[in-house]
Structure 1
Amino acid sequence: MDNHNISRHISGQFNAELEAIRTHVLTMGGLVERQLTDALRAMHNQDVDLARHVIREDHKVNGMEVAIDEACTRIIAKRQPTASDLRLVMAIIKTITDLERIGDVADSIAKMALDNSSHSQQPFLVSLEALGQRAAKMLHEVLDAFARMDIEAAMRVYRKDDSLDREYEGILRQLMTYMMEDPRSIPNVLKVMWSARAIERVGDRCQNICEYIIYFVKGKDVRHIQKEELEKLLK
C-alpha cells in the first residue's frame, strides 16, 4: 500500500498492527484466488483429486476471515481509530467478508465437480471456461488494487463487471436453447446454470471490494450510487 494512503503514527506498534492486518488480508486473497482457479479447473477437467483438495482447503479461508475480523475488533477496542484509520479497518472487515464468500463459491463449484465426475456435462462446461477465467482475472486485479489502494485500478476492475454480466447472459441463452432442444439435458444444464451464476457473482464481489477501496481513499460510501455518479466523483 502506498505510504501516502496510510497514516503514520507516533506509536510504531499501531503501524505494525495495521500493516500485519493488511498483509493477512492479501494472504487470504491469494488463497481465495488459488481456490477459485483450482475449482474452475477441477470443474472443467472433471478432476476429482483437485476438487477434493479445494474442498479440504476451504476451512483455511474461513479461519483467516475469523482471525482478521478478531484482529480488527482488537484494534477498534484498543486504538479507537478515527478518520482514515477507521475507514481502513472497516474496508478490511468488509473485504474479508466478500473474499470468504468467493471462497464459498470455489468450494461449491468443487463439490459440483466431485458429485458430477462423469463427462456427461462436458459439452456444457466448455461455455463456462472463458467466464471463469474472466472472473478469476477480476479477482486478481482487484487484490492488486487493494494492495496499493489504487482507485484508478479499482475503477478499471469495476467497469469490467458489465462485460462479465453480458457474457453470463449469453451463456444462459445458450443453455436455455440446449434445454428446449433436448429436455433430457435439463438436469445437467441446470447444474451448469448454477455454476455460471456463482461465477458471475464473483464479479459482483470484486465490484464490492472496488467500492471499499474508493471508500478508504475518498472517504465516501459509493455502494448505492449510479455508475455515472461514481465516474464523476472520481474525475
Structure 2
Amino acid sequence: MPDKHLSSQFDADLTLLSTRLLAMGGLVESQIALAMQALDTFELDFVDLVLEGERRLNTMEIELDEEICNVIARRQPAARDLRLLMAASKCVTNLERAGDEARKIAKRIRRIAPRVSAQDVNIAEIKVSGAMAADVLRRALDAFARMDTAAAEQIILDDEAIDNEFRAFVRKLVTSMTENPRTITTALDYLSIAKAIERIGDHATNIAESVVYVVRGTDIRHEHRKRQEPEAVRT
C-alpha cells in the first residue's frame, strides 16, 4: 500500500480500506473455488454456498464504496493517493462482478445436474481454465496489496492463456454439437460456464492494470489488448 503520510489517521484509513478490500477478494476466491467444486462433483450443496456468499459480496461492495467516498471527502487526496482510491473503487467493482460470474457458474451447474449422467461433453478445458482464473485472481490481489507492477504485468500477459483455453473449448463444443445434437442443451450451459470463467480472468486483469495505474500514473487498459490484435484489425 502507499507510503506513510503526515496524518497517521489517513494511513489508518487506507490500511483499513486495504484490509477490507482484500477480505472481499478472499470471499470471491472462495466463491470461485466452491463453483469449481460444484462443477467437479455436481453436489448442489456447493451451489447453495455460492449463492449464499453472493449476498455477502453485495453487502461488502456497498460498504466499501461508501468508505472510499468517505475517505475522499475527508482527506481530499491528490496524485498517487487519489489514484489509489480510484483504483480501489474499480477493484471493488471487478471483485463484485467476478463474484457474479461465480454465481452464474453455480446456477448453470444446477441446471446441468439432473442430466449430468447422460452428458457427452468433455469439459477438461473448462476445469483447466477455472484453475487458471482462480490463480490469476489470487495473484492480482497479491499484486494490488504490494503494489507490485512486475507481477501485475505478468498477470496481464497470462490472461491470454485463459482466453486460449476458452477458444479451444468453443471449437470442440461446436464439433460436439454438430456430431451429436442431443448434447446441444448441455453444451450451451457449459459454454456459459466457460464464458463466465473467461470473464473472471478479465476482471483479474483489470485489477492488475489498476496496480500499474496507481504506481506509474499510466492507464494501460487498452494497450496490451491492441498489441494482441492482428494488424488488419487495428488498421
Using the size of structure 1 for normalisation, the TM-score is 0.91
Compared with structure 1, are the counterparts of its residues 124 and 24 closer, same or farther at alpha carbon in structure 2 (3 Å cutoff)?
same
1:48 aligns with 2:44: yes
| 1:75-129 CA-partner distances (Å, limit 9, x unpaired) | 1111111111101100000011000000001111111122322323474434411
2:211 to 200, 210, 213: 213
Where do residues 1-235 of structure 1 align in structure 2 (5 Å cutoff)? 1=1, 6-118=2-114, 119=116, 120-121=118-119, 123-226=121-224
Aligned equivalents of 2:126, 2:3: Cα separation in 1: 43
Percent identity reads 40
Note the residue ranges of structure 2 that are not aligned, 5 or more in a row. 228-235
Which letter does structure 2 place at the counterpart of 1:183? P
Contact (CA 8 Å) 2:177, 2:184: kept in 1 or not?
yes
Across the aligned residues of Structure 1 and Structure 2, the Cα RMSD in angstroms comes to 1.5
Compared with structure 1, are the counterparts of its residues 92 and 170 closer, same or farther at alpha carbon in structure 2 (3 Å cutoff)?
same
Aligned equivalents of 1:199, 1:151: Cα separation in 2: 24
Aligned equivalents of 2:82, 2:213: Cα separation in 1: 11
Aligned equivalents of 1:116, 1:178: Cα separation in 2: 17
Aligned equivalents of 1:227, 1:197: Cα separation in 2: 18
Q: Counterpart in 2 of 1:233?
A: none
Which letter does structure 2 place at the counterpart of 1:156? Q
Aligned length: 225
